[in-house]
Amino acid sequence: MTTEPPVIEISNLHKAYGSLEVIKGVTITARRGDVVSLIGSSGSGKSTILRCANLLEDSQQGDILFKGEPVRWTGSGLNRRPADPAQVLRIRTNLAMVFQQFNLWAHLTILQNVMEAPVTVLRRPRAEVEKSARAYLEKVGIGDKCDAYPAQLSGGQQQRAAIARALAMEPEALLFDEPTSALDPELEQEVIRVIKDLAAEGRTMMIVTHDMKMARDVSDHVVFLHQGLIEEQGDPETLFGAPRSERLRQFLSSTM
Ligand code: ADP
Ligand code: MG
């Protein structure tokens, strides 16, 4: 029995792009140590939910709470914006995002990529940041690539560098948006291995993925989205083993 508020609480979220309503009332909670996977067809709203959660996107209705602290808004409807830039920065740095396309800085070495935000955004001492950056690169298995540039690494190594970069922010949670989609199958596995290790450590994570095997293996909770709404959700054994909705059954058979 815990009274600790969830790390991430998204409550009745609504989001439109202009007149196109893409999230139509979605509630998702991740408690400390939870791994929550979001699955669903392309265009169902998975990326948008992650981007709204860490305030990369505005939303029009609903609450987003970080460790029980609600985002404060100003304005309403399509004019709703977070009211407090310091709160946005705090939430964004605590919900570190890992993208499909890695988004490493091409002109910086791998070590410099990992050190950049802790030094410039968090203003941590450089020597201390370097020490932990090297340790995170070691942890994801590319400790020998500190001085390489992103273009000199394989896709799987670049994605592991991006994960080290996220970890270096010492965030409360990690948000993954299709972390293996840009990778060849043999390189996917090395990234999945790292994500599994993070899950086993009890990291709080939200993972958008097309990889049903990974979702089944690492998740505590799986959310199936359809056209901006939660169609079905549950623990992975039930959701994958005994799907109730016809749409989920069709989706799962299309991904096998
Ligand atoms: P998913 O990640 O599940 O594939 P997205 O969250 O990217 O889905 O997209 C949900 C819907 O929002 C889709 O219909 C998509 O076309 C639309 N969408 C996403 N980003 C934008 C944008 N920047 N402008 C307009 N529409 C967008
Ligand atoms: Mg997406």
pTM of the model: 0.96
**2 pLDDT higher than 70:** no
Quote the CA–CA distance of 248 and 169 in Å, as a whole number. Answer: 36
What gap in Å lies between CA 120 and CA 124, rounded to an integer? 8
Q: Is 19 in the pocket of ligand 1 (CB under 6 A)?
A: no
Tokens of 172: 């409360």
Looking at residue 3, its pLDDT comes to 84
Spatial separation of the C-alpha atoms in residues 105 and 111, rounded to whole Å: 11
Pairing label, strands 204-208, 221-226: unpaired
How many Å apart are CA 81 and CA 70, to the nearest integer?
Answer: 13
The whole-chain average pLDDT of the chain stands at: 96
How far is ligand 2, taken at its centre, from the CA of residue 33, in Å?
A: 23
pLDDT in tens, 111-122: 999 999 999 999
Q: Which two tokens stand for residue 160?
A: 């592991």
Whether residue 67 has pLDDT greater than 90:
yes
Residue type, 153: L
Q: What is the three-class DSSP state of 128?
A: helix
Ligand 1 lined by 47 (C-beta under 6 Å): yes
Ligand nearest to the CA of 46: 1
Q: What is the pLDDT of residue 102?
A: 93
Hey, what are 203's tokens? Answer: 């990291």
Q: Is the CB of 42 under 6 A from ligand 1?
A: yes
Residue pLDDT, tens place only, 173-207: 999 999 999 999 989 999 999 999 999 999 999 99
